[in-house]
Each structure stands twice: as C-alpha cells, then as structure tokens.
Structure 1
Amino acid sequence: MSTRAPAPPPVTPAGQGVGPLLRAWREERRVSQLELSLRADSSARHISFIETGRSRPSEEMVLRLAEHLDVPMRERNALLLAAGYAPRFPETPLDDPAMGPLREGIERLIQGFEPYPALVVDAHYTVVAANRGIAMILDGLPEHLLTPPVNAVRITLHPEGLAPRIRNLAEWRGHLLHQMRGQIALRRSPELRKLYEEVAAYPVPDAPAYHPEERAPVPYIALPMVLEHAGHTLSFVSSISTFNTPMDVTVAELAIETLLPADPATVKYLHSLMA
C-alpha cells in the first residue's frame, strides 16, 4: 500500500474572500456546482456567482454550503470570517471550567469500558484521557513516549513503542496511515500532515511472525490488532465514536476509541488482570 499523502486542496491566499474557499472545498469533495445547488436548495448560477465573488452569500448560505460539503467545524468559522461574518462556533479549551461536566462524563464513559482499553484523542491524535486498560497495554514502554502530550499514532507505530509487539503490524500500520490520509484530506491540517510524514517514515521493526491459523478460528468482524503482552497474544477490534451535533470546535474534534476483545481468550485475560 502506498503511504504517500494526497495532494492538499488548493490554498486560497488571504484576502480573496469566501468564494475561492468554497470552490476549493467543492472541488475537494468532487461535487459539481449543479449537485451542490440541488443539495443546498439554490441554483448553479448562484453558486457560480458566489465562487467568483459576484455575489456575497448570506451567513445562512455559508453554513448551508459548508454543511453539504462536510466542512469541519473549525473551517466553517474560517469560511464565515472570509465572508465577513463573525465565527459561529466557539473553541473552548478542554480544561476550561465550563468543560467540567464533559470531562467528567468522558472519564466515566471510558472507565465504564474497563477492563477493555479505551481512550479519547483530539484532532491530532493527542491523548486527552485514557483508562486502565490503555495503561496495561502501554506498560513497559520508554518514558519519552509516555511523557505528555502522548500521541496515540506515534506511540503505536514508533519502533520503541507498540510496533514491535503488534503481530500483524503491516496490516495495522497500513490501516492507521490510510485513516490519517483521510483525516488530512478532511481537515487540511499542517500539524496532522507533519505527524503523518513523521510516523510514515518510521522504520518498521521486525515483529513476531503472525499466523492467523495458530489461533482458534474466530469470524473477525473487522481488522483486528493482534498484540503480544506478557507472553499472551491479545486481539482487539477498534471502535471510534464522536459527539453528535457538536456546537464547539474542541468537542467536534474529540474521538473516543475503544478496543474491544476479538476473541474469548482476550476477554478472559483482561478480566483476570482486573481481578
């Protein structure tokens, strides 16, 4: 699998207004002016006028077009600013007192998954919360990888991190890099692209030979991460959840990842650790 990141969408120079920005997002999403106009209950002529600067869209129209182009919330604020409107969505730091109930809810949620590993990451895969199941998986890793801010992708693919313990490293590495390329295309984040270039360049350490037939036949429902831990072979499938209808940039960029056991042996082992 190629690990080359997709070319970034056209970058609109400052001062050109909202039209070129909207056109860049539309082209990135491979949507025609006609298709977008039908989705947004407008006309192709009006969309063309907006993109060329002949017509200034209303605030409602900017948000409607952004919604139908699946523009991330952070970038919707940028579109509003370019159109001459105030940003609509706040970006509240996670340690702000107003975020207290959210932080407590997240902690209760991931603790409720124990003994199964669960963590919460931001848009750059920085870990903002993790439960004891994650601590178990990371046990024994070098301090420089565990010093905050801890990055979930870096700690997974680093040759001194989990990579040597992942028995199906080639498949899991390909999955993570593919996921990151999709996020780069969605968010246009220079920080995320820099992280991608870093982890994609890591040397791939030798991992223990992985022969799926060694394990009891299990009908996997998704690609598992097969991990060696203290002489045991554990198998997990990953589930990622986000918040529904967020109205804050910080909340919109949070993702909750849970690692669910993919076989009975992993279930038994994890419960024995907590016991």
Structure 2
Amino acid sequence: MKSQETAGDNKSPIGVLLRSWREARRISQLDLALRANLSARHLSYVETGKAQASRDMLCRLADVLEMPLRERNVLLLTGGYAPQYPENPLATPALEWMRQAVDLTITHQEPYPAFVLDRHWNVLMTNQAAVRIGNLLMQGRQSKHTNLLHQVFDPEDVRSVMLNWPEVAEKFIRHLHDEIAMAPSDQITQHLLQQVMQYPDVPEHWRFRDLQRTQTPVFTFVFQSSEGELRFFETITTFSMPRDVTLAELRIESSFPADAHTAAVCAKLAAA
C-alpha cells in the first residue's frame, strides 16, 4: 500500500512546488501539516491534486516553509490566486523614501566603499568611494561585469588583485549555495552557480554545498594595489520586514578598513 505522501499519480503543479520546498527544508508532509495547523489528509490531497488549497492555507504553508516574498507570490499564482506582495522598481514613486534611505546609507559610508546589490549579486548602485577604490585596484580599467560574482571569479576582473582569492571565492560559493537552499525554485541562482564553476581553477567539489566547514566570525578581503595591501571587512544591511519584493531582495554591502593603512589610503583618495 502506498503512503499518503506518495499516493496518486497526478503531478499537480502546486503539489510539485510544495514537495520541492519540503525537501529543501527537510520537512515531512506530516510535520508541515502539524506546523501549519492543517489536516495531514487535506495537505496530502492538495499535493496529489485531489483538492484545491485555499489562499489562507497557502499563506500558512509559506510561513512554515519560510519562503521569500517572490516565492510566496509564485506559490499563490500556482494555486490560482493573485500575488500577495507587489514588486515595484526602485525608481518608482512608491519607494521614494526607501530609495532615499539607500542613498543616505551609501553616501554616509564615505570615504569607504558601499554597494547596493539585488539577490542575484547584480550591482545596482555604488558610492563614490567604491568607484575610487575600484579605479585604484584595477588601475583605471573598467570591470567586465556588473555582477559581483563574475567580478570575483573572472581572472581578468577583480579576482586578479585579490591576494586571498581562494578564501574569498569559497565564501561567495557558500553564500550562493545558501541562496539556492533558501529558494530552490530560483533558476537564475542555480545558473549563476553553473557559470562561476566554469572559470579557471575553481575546485569541482564547490558544486556541492558544504555544511561541515566552520567559518571565521569576520572575513577580511585583501587586495593588492599601487598603495600597498588594502584590507576590508564588510557588513550587510537589509530592510526590516519589507512588504515589497524589490525591497526584500535589496542588500547594502558596506566595506570598512581592517587596518590603519587601508583607512589612510581611503582618506587620501577622498581628499584628492
């Protein structure tokens, strides 16, 4: 006799989506039903296509599965409902005050670099300090990419001036795998992993997520430049409890000097 979880041959879209998220979160069908205060039989029928989930049920399931806002919208659309969260361009009037907050944050980061990224590591905005440091490191050459991952992994880009590139690259690979685990239905993130794995000297075992290795509390980026070695550590700022997909996916990466020499070089460039 087949179990409830595997019963039925109907591959309903909502069932496929829910099962993929359960597998990613390592939650059984019974556990998901209990945590969402639902009938296990009803959830089984929804996954096999024998019953339709209500909008409220899908929202509760999304809460338990800790789905990002974009994926919550996908779940609702797959279930036949309108998306719950808007996705406004950052330049839209609806996000004017939030955009001003972003501008204020990266401006006040001077004379140290700051970058605004989306969830796929595309660089959306930078402050002038980031431009100055970039020009110093690349000796006036323009980056080939607008995507931070490609900048880090391409030997002809920022990677060429990273003195601790193996450690930096491994850090980004770990973050990339974490993002894939957080949103297993995001094909763009998975494609990014395949792309960066094609660059030279990228270890093959990085294709797979490593849950065993312990990370250092604070990571330092070390660059070579005409002003000597520059060392930075970073903080990441996000919006608290965003209700818009764009805001939920924005992050501000702020760089700080990790030694007095780096701080002095940043101040010197700003003064010049």
Bin the TM-score by the shorter chain.
Answer: 0.7 to 0.9
Letter in 2 for 1:143: Q
Structure 1 residue 101 displacement after superposition: 2.2
RMSD of aligned residue pairs (Cα, Å):
2.2
Structure 1 residue 171 displacement after superposition: 0.6
Letter in 1 for 2:130: I
Name the SS of the counterpart of 1:246 in structure 2.
coil
| CA–CA distance in structure 2, aligned partners of residues 241 and 123 of structure 1 | 13
| CA–CA distance in structure 2, aligned partners of residues 144 and 264 of structure 1 | 27
Alignment of 1:66-145 (within 5 A): 66-139=62-135, 140=139, 142-143=141-142, 145=144
Structure 1 residue 196 displacement after superposition: 2.4
Gaps of 5+ in 2: 1-10, 203-215
Letter in 2 for 1:223: F
Structure 1 residue 244 displacement after superposition: 1.8
Name the SS of the counterpart of 2:172 in structure 1.
helix
Structure 1 residue 102 displacement after superposition: 2.0
Gaps of 5+ in 1: 1-14, 206-219
Structure 1 residue 179 displacement after superposition: 1.2
Q: TM-score, normalised by structure 1?
A: 0.80
Structure 1 residue 18 displacement after superposition: 1.8
Aligned to 1:39, which of 25, 35, 42? 35
Q: Does the 8 A contact of 2:235 with 2:254 survive in 1?
A: yes
| CA–CA distance in structure 2, aligned partners of residues 46 and 237 of structure 1 | 49
Structure 1 residue 180 displacement after superposition: 1.3
Q: Does the 8 A contact of 2:12 with 2:48 survive in 1?
A: no
Partner of 1:3: none
Q: Does the 8 A contact of 2:227 with 2:265 survive in 1?
A: no
Letter in 1 for 2:147: N
Q: Does the 8 A contact of 2:143 with 2:158 survive in 1?
A: no
Name the SS of the counterpart of 1:256 in structure 2.
strand
Percent sequence identity is 38
Asked whether 1:201 is paired with 2:221, we answer: no
Change in Cα spacing, 1:204 to 1:19, as seen in structure 2 (3 Å) is closer
Structure 1 residue 144 displacement after superposition: 5.6
| CA–CA distance in structure 2, aligned partners of residues 21 and 221 of structure 1 | 35
- CA displacement 1:140-176 (0-9 Å, x = unmatched): 3533626xxx111212222121111111111111111
- CA displacement 1:230-250 (0-9 Å, x = unmatched): 232111122222222111111
Partner of 2:207: none
Name the SS of the counterpart of 1:88 in structure 2.
coil
Change in Cα spacing, 1:141 to 1:204, as seen in structure 2 (3 Å) is farther
| CA–CA distance in structure 2, aligned partners of residues 222 and 200 of structure 1 | 25
Partner of 1:171: 167
Change in Cα spacing, 1:199 to 1:33, as seen in structure 2 (3 Å) is same
Q: Does the 8 A contact of 1:142 with 1:160 survive in 2?
A: no
Name the SS of the counterpart of 2:38 in structure 1.
coil
Name the SS of the counterpart of 2:236 in structure 1.
strand
Aligned to 1:239, which of 229, 235, 257? 235
Structure 1 residue 184 displacement after superposition: 2.5
Letter in 2 for 1:115: P
